Every structure is written in C-alpha cells, then in structure tokens.
C-alpha cells in the first residue's frame, strides 16, 4: 500500500481528537511489518491517531512473528476466527492509505513475475480501510501495537486483477466502525462489502514495487506490462 498523507491532514479528514504518533516517512511501498497511521477509539472514548505496525500480533501471542500470517482478515469469517473475534467486537480501526497494490493472477504454469497494479481514487484522495488492532507486550513489558486489514470479495473494477480487495469504508460509516461496541452480525455484513464501482482507478505499474527495499513516487507511475504472456487476462477498466 502507499501512504503519502501527513498525519495532521489525516487527523483533520478523519476528525481525530488526539494525535499520538511520530511522523512516519512518506512511502509508496508500505510492506507488512512496517508502521502505518491508524485511527481507533481510546479507552476514554477519544478518536485517536497512532502509528501501528501492519501485521497483527494478538495480545495472547507467544511469538510476535505470528504477524506475518495476520496481515489480512477475511470479512466473511471474522466473527468466528479466534485471532479476530474479540477484536471485531471492540478493537475496530480505520487504516487510511493513499492507494494499494494488487498482483494479477497468471495462467497456470506461467514463469514470469506477476504484474502489479496500483489502485487509488481518481483524484488520489486518501482511502480508508476497515481494520482491527491489538496490543501485545514483550518480555520487558513494552507494548507493540499492530493492525490488520479486512478483505472482502472483489468488485467489478478489481476482478480482472484479483478476486479479493480491502474493505473501504465511506465517511458515513467511520463513526459506527470506531464505536468500541459489538455490531449486529447483519450490520457487520452490510459494512464489510466491496467498494462501489467507480471509487477506484487502476493501472499497471513497474515491477520495482515487488521489492520492499524500493520506494519513491515512480512506483505508482503507469507502466505498460511487458512480456508475451500479457493479455491472457483482460486489462482492468478504469
């Protein structure tokens, strides 16, 4: 994913009460285990922006390396998974980003690397993902706050590239999502749906994004996919 909006701008956009985060470097290649700005409700009820590490480490974890497996959470099974169930009830979070990448599936047996696509709003405005967060304490009792991003089925824009997509919450749903009380199962299902058609634009980008060591605005410049295998799948619209 990409994160290029300063925390103060996000704080205004998301109507945050408290900012308790360092300035994170702008990034066009946020990888799992790296910090992102996250908004959640504090114990006193304030809407607070913090920097949390992407990749959930549940409070009960013995080994924080579990984070690698918990970077996404399926909307459909959220309420029954031991790793997420309690968090869905009381530790929901907003994860604002500038855009995100998905890699296009390949014909079986293909050997070339998968083609990355960038997804963002037409005017590059921030997107707000639905997430969950938790806090874990190491042996020295230092807190580690982490988050995961909820996914759902792909909308029509996404389908040519990938069959899943992150849940994007519209501004009208932010308050309800941040309320630290359980939601009715039916309501959860209504909120965790694919983004409306037209919200996102997408285009292929260069393979540089494939290495977490690469970063910079050039990663999100449109880039024609190379290679004879291209075209096996339709190009995404938008």
Considering the rule CB under 7 A, would residue 14 count as an interface residue with DNA? no
Within residues 49-108, the interface with DNA by CB under 7 A covers: 55, 58, 60-62, 65-66, 68-74, 77-78, 81-86, 102-103, 105-106, 108
- Out of 151, 192, 194, 219, name the contact with DNA by CB under 7 A: 151
* Buried/exposed 192-222: b ≥16 CB within 10 Å, e otherwise: bebbeeebbbbbbbbbbbbeeeebeeebbee
> What residues does 144 pair with on adjacent strands?
136
The region of 4-12, 130-138, 156-164, 186-194 touching DNA under the rule CB under 7 A is: 156-164
Q: What is the CA radius of gyration of the chain?
A: 18
Q: Which two tokens stand for residue 210?
A: 């494939």
**Closer CB to DNA, 37 or 100, in the complex:** 100
Considering the rule CB under 7 A, would residue 32 count as an interface residue with DNA? yes
Minimum distance, C-beta of residue 159 to DNA, in the bound complex (Å): 11
C-alpha span between 185 and 198 (Å, rounded): 27
**β-strands 72-74, 143-153 pairing:** parallel
Within residues 102-121, the interface with DNA by CB under 7 A covers: 102-103, 105-106, 108-109, 113-114, 116
Contact criterion met (CB below 8 Å) for 42 and 48: yes
- Site residues for DNA per CB under 7 A: 31-34, 55, 58, 60-62, 65-66, 68-74, 77-78, 81-86, 102-103, 105-106, 108-109, 113-114, 116, 151, 162-164, 207, 210-213
């Amino acid at each position: 994913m990409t994160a290029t909006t300063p925390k103060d701008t996000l704080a205004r956009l998301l109507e945050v009460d408290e900012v308790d985060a360092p300035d994170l470097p702008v990034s066009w290649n946020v990888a799992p285990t790296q910090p992102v700005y996250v908004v959640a409700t504090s114990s006193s009820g304030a809407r607070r922006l913090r920097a949390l590490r992407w990749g959930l480490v549940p409070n009960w974890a013995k080994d924080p390396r579990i984070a690698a497996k918990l970077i996404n959470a399926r909307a459909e099974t959220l309420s029954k998974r031991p790793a997420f169930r309690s968090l869905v009830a009381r530790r929901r979070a907003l994860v604002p980003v500038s855009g995100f990448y998905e890699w296009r599936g390949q014909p079986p047996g293909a050997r070339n690397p998968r083609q990355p696509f960038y997804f963002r709003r037409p005017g590059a405005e921030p997107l707000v993902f639905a997430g969950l967060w938790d806090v874990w304490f190491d042996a020295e009792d230092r807190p580690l706050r982490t988050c995961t991003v909820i996914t759902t089925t792909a909308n029509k824009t996404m389908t040519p590239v990938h069959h899943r997509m992150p849940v994007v919450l519209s501004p009208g749903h932010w308050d309800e999502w941040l309320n630290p009380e359980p939601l009715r199962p039916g309501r959860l299902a209504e909120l965790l749906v694919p983004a409306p058609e037209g919200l996102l634009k997408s285009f292929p980008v260069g393979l540089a994004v494939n290495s977490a060591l690469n970063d910079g605005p050039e990663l999100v410049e449109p880039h024609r996919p190379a290679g004879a295998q291209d075209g096996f799948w339709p190009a995404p619209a938008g």
